[in-house]
Amino acid sequence: MKNAYIKYLEDELKKLDREIADLKKKVAKADKNMKTKYKKTMDAITEKKNEAKTRLKETKAAWRDLTGGMEKAWKSLKTSVTKARKEFK
C-alpha cells in the first residue's frame, strides 16, 4: 500500500517536472512584458514543487519510522505469544 502510494507520488512529480520544463521553454520564447508576468507564475510553481518534494521526503521518513516501530512491536508480540503457548502446554 505505502510503496504504491509513494511510487504514484514520485511518478506524478516526474510528470509535473516535465510539464514545468515545457512551460519554462514557452516562457523563454515570450516577449519581455509577458516574461515578467510568467516569471511570477513560474516562481510560485517552483515554490510549490519544492514544498511537494519536501513533503514527499518527510512522508518517506515518517513511513520508515512507523514501520520500524510496528515491526518491533509485532516481533515482541509474536515472541510473547510463542512463549505463552509453550508455557501453557
Domain that holds residue 62: 2-87
Residue 15 has what pLDDT?
A: 95
Q: Indicate the angle between helix axes 32-87 and 2-29, nearest 10 degrees.
A: 170
The count of domains in the chain is 1
**pLDDT of the chain, 89 residues: tens digit per residue:** 567 888 899 999 999 999 999 999 988 998 988 888 898 899 999 999 999 999 999 988 887 777 778 888 888 888 998 999 888 87
Burial of 48-81, coded b for 16+ CB within 10 Å and e otherwise, reads eeeeeeeeeeeeeeeeeeeeeeeeeeeeeeeeee
pLDDT of residue 73: 86
Give the global pTM.
0.68
Dist. CA 60–CA 56, nearest whole Å: 6
Q: Phi and psi at residue 6, in whole multiples of 5°?
A: -60, -45
Q: What are phi and psi of 31, to 5 degrees?
A: -75, 170
